[in-house]
Amino acid sequence: MGGTNRQEWRRTQELLLGAELISGVREFALGGRRSLALDFAGPVGVDHWRTVAERVLRRNAAESAEVKVTPDGVTTAGPRDIAEVEARITGVQRLIGRIARYEARFRADGLLAEGRFVRSVEAWDYGRASAMARFGLGARYCAVQEAEQAVLHASRVARTAYRSPPCCCGGLCWPWSRSRTDSGGAGRCRRRGSRAERPSCLAGAAPG
């Protein structure tokens, strides 16, 4: 991912610091729950979360086929393929179940407090941006000062996105866990998070 020259490294770093390389599907699912939590001022049940996600996906699919007036004129998109819509709904609902299971493990390990949940996986990109800065320095794609500024930038955007180090840790660990097997990678990441609740992407953040 780091690239083979300074230009590629810098472009990747910019994308990571802007949280532009994270999964849009994961952010859709987590963003939907954030909205529900604000509406109901409390925990969101998995069944309700799945139901609302399905409703939004079906509405989006229907709206994509409506007539739209744009500066270029009137355009009409064809209806979305029913099988594609159903597959997307099934995938998101399975994802919601996985999120709930991982969060339960994080709570059991003390990584997430009761009643808390993973708000976003933006921390995954911010953590990788911090690592990318170190890679760039080692590969001589940047100077020490530029690498330091990149790490500080990752810390600032992480503090803006997350209320506390444990919340950031959840957003950082879950995608990492998903890229490994449940029996190995997830456990190692959770143990790391439990031992060090203040990852580099949240350096300087106040406990919350």
What is the structure's pLDDT at 69? Answer: 61
CA–CA distance, 162 with 178 (Å, rounded to integer)? 21
178-179-184 Cα angle (round to 5): 80
Highest-confidence range of 17-26, 62-71, 155-164, 185-194, by mean pLDDT? Answer: 17-26
Whether residue 30 has pLDDT greater than 90: yes
Residues 91-106 have a mean pLDDT of 93
CA–CA distance, 103 with 64 (Å, rounded to integer)? 33
Residues 53-69 have a mean pLDDT of 83
- Burial letters 168-195, b for 16+ CB under 10 A, else e: bbbbbbbbbbbeeeeeeebeebbeebee
In this predicted model, what pLDDT tens digit does every residue of 6-17 receive, in sequence order? 999 999 999 999
Whether residue 142 has pLDDT greater than 90: yes
CA–CA distance, 108 with 38 (Å, rounded to integer)? 25
CB 173 within 8 A of CB 193: yes
CB 158 within 8 A of CB 192: no
Whether residue 192 has pLDDT greater than 60: no
What is the structure's pLDDT at 63? Answer: 84
Q: How confident is the model at residue 95 (pLDDT cuts 50, 70, 90)?
A: very high
Q: How confident is the model at residue 18 (pLDDT cuts 50, 70, 90)?
A: very high
Comparing CA positions, the residue from 200, 204, 205 lying closest to residue 162 is 205
More confident residue, 116 or 145: 145
Whether residue 206 has pLDDT greater than 80: no
Q: What is the pTM of this model?
A: 0.76
What is the structure's pLDDT at 200? Answer: 46
Q: What single-letter amino acid sits at 61?
A: A
CB 11 within 8 A of CB 3: yes
Residues 45-63 have a mean pLDDT of 95
Q: How confident is the model at residue 198 (pLDDT cuts 50, 70, 90)?
A: very low
Question: The tokens of 134 are what?
Answer: 């170190």
Q: How confident is the model at residue 181 (pLDDT cuts 50, 70, 90)?
A: very low
Pairing type for strands 67-70 and 73-76 reads antiparallel
